[in-house]
Amino acid sequence: MWSLQNRQISTAVANIMAAMAKALPSYAWLTALPQLISRICHTNPEVNTVTNHIITHVAEAYPQQVLKLETPLSHEGCC
């Protein structure tokens, strides 16, 4: 179970990530894509929303790279 402090930290990180999502070009997220994809099913709603937004933004610009990394997830049933 998440403590209040953990939720506050996750929300703060999500806010920073949202700001960076607006500031950075989509190619800058390619190096972090595996870590972002591993957070697709994050339990914190703010983290989940920001992560999915960034992945969608990158997928629009670089669909092959995103599909290559997400295909194994479709077999695992992550969520």
Give the separation between CA 21 and CA 70, rounded to whole angstroms.
20
How far is Cα 57 from Cα 60, in angstroms, rounded to an integer?
Answer: 5
**What pLDDT, on a 0 to 100 scale, did the predictor assign at position 68?**
83
Answer yes or no: is pLDDT of 33 > 70.
yes
Flag whether pLDDT at 56 surpasses 90: yes
1-25 mean pLDDT = 88
Q: Which residues contact 50 (CB under 8 A, 6 or more apart)?
A: 14, 17, 18, 21
3-state secondary structure of 43: coil
How many CB atoms within 10 Å of residue 56? 10
